[in-house]
Amino acid sequence: MSSILTNTSSMVALQTLRGINNNLAKTQDEISTGKAVSSAKDNAAVWAISKVMESDVKGFKGISDSLNLGESTVAVGRQAAETVTDLMTEIKGKIVAAQQDNVDRTKLQTDVTALVDQIKTVVGSAQFSGLNLVDGSQSTVDVLASLDRQSSGTVSTSSITINAQNLSVGGYTAKAAFTGTTGASTAADSAATSLAKADTTGVAIVLDDAITYAAGDSISIRLGNKEVSYTVTAEDAAQSAGTVTNIIAAGLKSAADGLGITDLRVDFAANDGTNDASLTFKVADTNGDTVASLAQDLTITAQFKNAGSGGLGALSSIDVTTANGAAAALGSIEGLIQTGIDAAAEFGSVQSRIEIQSDFIGKLSDSLKAGIGSMIDADMEEASARLQALQVQQQLGIQSLSIANQAPQSILSLFR
């Protein structure tokens, strides 16, 4: 039966052409984006898996940066340890020469002192991005090394621990007393205290004048993530105990004021013969008459760096100007050289481990990227062939629809 109301052939041709056009649009999308799965509607499961893997790749990029930073930091520490070891080997040569009686031990001592000063310079400058692994200020440092994803979806991180080494000729000890403490300091005095955001009473740090301060000693105060310090000079050390603490406190106040921490006020109370010199950190505006507020609670830590008490502290007592002193120095230098060798070996070992992990993270990231590509990337050869076929099908579909649309016109001949 022929009908001018319902053209079945046209409807079939139209549906076929629509399917061809949809497939053609999808193929063109694959070619333009390069992806077979470019959104969740294409394949929800594969898209979800690929997005999780992409987030892990981004995480591994951050881990790679962390490993590079850690490797550079360790490399600086290792180089410092090796340099210090070489310098101590030179010192040993001077000490050995001083064992003989017909030498100028005074000149040898001058050389030894210069080499010890150079060791201090090397240790003090061996920092990378503000972190020094050889001056005794650190015990351990963790380097982010891996991102671990469990089958349950739980994600955790793991780290490589760096054991810092103390190659300083001075080390950190507890000799800066917190508020209320007078007389001899204890280890507890170096514990951190916190200044609340709106604390107008403040936190006081008292400098104990019962301590004999020597040239090279220094007191540091860490205010949050910033630090100020004052190093005692030979001229300072020659002053009376009370005067020395006043000089130190005044220097620390000046440095703390220079940090520019908004709404932090530092008050200095000088040693008056009865009360020790002190610094009080509190929250107030510059005039001290209006209560203000810090951005957050401020952790305050005071430490005393005592010249001659570090891992290589015995270097400061080497004296080859006498036969007995030269003999004693020969007995101690071997242990000091071994300390430097052990430090360099420790850093070398952990640097090698970080390099291996960094190489593995790079290869792992590449493998993940390849896996993501195999899931979502389009096969361009297949897409090209499919495009050609669909374009031919589209032309045939249009022709078929045209023929189907012309069929009702043949009915007119029945009415002639």
Q: Above 60 in pLDDT, residue 245?
A: yes
Mean residue pLDDT across the chain? 84
Give the distance from CA 250 to its chain's centroid. 33
pLDDT: is 292 or 355 the higher one? 355
Rounded to whole angstroms, how far apart are CA atoms 88 and 214?
Answer: 24
Q: Lowest mean pLDDT: which of 26-30, 131-135, 291-295, 330-334? A: 291-295
- Nearest Cα neighbor of 302 from 227, 209, 213, 221 is 221
Sign of torsion, CA 269 274 275 276?
A: positive
Question: What residue has token string 């020969």?
Answer: 330
Query: Tokens 């490589």 map to which residue?
Result: 160
pLDDT-wise least confident of 115-129, 192-206, 282-296, 391-405:
282-296
* Model confidence pLDDT, tens digit, residues 163-182: 999 998 876 555 555 443 33
Q: What is the pLDDT of residue 285?
A: 66
Contact (CB, 8 A) for 125 and 107: no
Per the rule left: phi > 0, alpha: psi between -120 and 50, beta: everything else, 37 is beta
Q: Which residues of 249-261 are buried (b: 16+ CB within 10 A; e: fewer)?
A: bebbbebbeeeeb
pLDDT tens, 106-138?
A: 999 999 989 998 998 999 899 998 889 998 878
Q: What is the DSSP letter of 185?
A: -
Residue 238 pLDDT class (50, 70, 90 cuts): confident
Residue 24 CA: distances (Å) to CA of 43, 90, 117, 394: 18, 79, 78, 8
**Secondary structure element (H or E) that encloses residue 29, with its range:** helix 8-33
Q: Are strands 278-283 and 203-207 parallel, antiparallel or unpaired?
A: antiparallel
pLDDT score at 1: 62
Q: Would you say residue 58 has pLDDT above 60?
A: yes
- In terms of Cβ atoms closer than 10 Å to its own Cβ (0-12, 13-18, 19+), residue 154 is exposed
- Distance between CA 278 and CA 288 in Å, rounded? 18
How much is the pTM?
Answer: 0.60
Residue type, 404: A
Tell me how far the alpha carbon of residue 401 is from its chain's centroid: 68
> Own/partner pairs for 58-61, CB < 8 Å, 24+ apart?
59/147, 60/147, 60/361, 60/364, 60/365, 60/368, 61/365
